């Protein structure tokens, strides 16, 4: 039976089981069942929700860029974005020659309740910071950071809080929990319905027309 684990990935840990350079790996957080892999990734300097599973079909489905699963982040950025910057983020910005998909972006009035980070963000006395809640439906490399930098508000801290209907809840950094049976059922149902919808929408090859009969040609008996 497939297994699904939610993890609050802390700062400084890669979304893999092999360490690289100065960064730690998921092995540093404890023992995981065999054949578990992260669905997608969070960079070592990012934090938040990570889904691990040994179900290859679900991994493939959730990583398919055409599916457009929502992913929600809290981003602490330099300075306070004005309405023009927020509109740019919502409508899409050009990154490496390609415009990002429309996003849901909200400037938070109050600082969210988040766990302290072991390595504090850089602090500049005369530069205020703000928190944005951003929901994307694509997963390009370091996309949130590149988007906010493109509109003049570099990201200082990034926390993913939700993947589709799965949320981080009250998981502390480094903590894990298995999906409930209801969460697994919903995940499987959404995957199945999405697959069925895409199969139904796929163009079907036209039915082949019978070849015209040559004069004098008789139909073969069957």
Residues marked as catalytic: 43
Tokens 């027309």 correspond to what residue? 209
Distance CA 190, CA 112 (A): 30
**Which of 2, 103, 58 shows the shortest CA–CA distance to 194?**
58
Distance CA 152, CA 166 (A): 31
**Which of 117, 187, 160, 133 shows the shortest CA–CA distance to 8?**
160
Residue 118, both tokens:
């072991």
Distance CA 199, CA 182 (A): 26
- Under 8 Å between Cβ of 114 and 129: no
């Amino acid at each position: 039976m497939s297994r699904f684990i939610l993890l609050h990935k802390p700062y400084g840990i890669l979304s893999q089981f092999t360490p690289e350079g100065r960064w730690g790996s998921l092995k540093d957080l404890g023992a995981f069942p065999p054949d578990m892999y992260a669905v997608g990734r969070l960079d070592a300097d990012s934090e938040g929700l990570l889904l691990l599973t040994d179900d290859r079909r679900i991994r493939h489905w959730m990583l398919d860029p055409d599916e457009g699963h929502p992913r929600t982040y809290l981003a602490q950025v330099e300075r306070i974005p004005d309405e023009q910057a927020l509109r740019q983020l919502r409508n899409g910005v050009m990154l490496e020659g390609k415009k990002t998909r429309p996003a849901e972006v909200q400037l938070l009035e109050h600082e969210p309740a988040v766990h302290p980070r072991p390595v504090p963000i850089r602090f500049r006395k005369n530069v205020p910071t703000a928190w944005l809640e951003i929901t994307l439906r694509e997963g390009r490399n370091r996309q949130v950071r590149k988007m906010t930098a493109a509109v003049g508000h570099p990201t200082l801290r990034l926390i993913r809080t939700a993947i589709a209907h799965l949320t981080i809840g009250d998981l502390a950094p480094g903590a894990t929990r298995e999906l409930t049976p209801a969460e697994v059922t919903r995940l499987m149902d959404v995957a199945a319905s999405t697959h069925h919808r895409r199969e139904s929408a796929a163009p079907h090859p036209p039915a082949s027309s019978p070849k015209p009969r040559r004069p004098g040609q008789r139909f073969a008996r069957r």
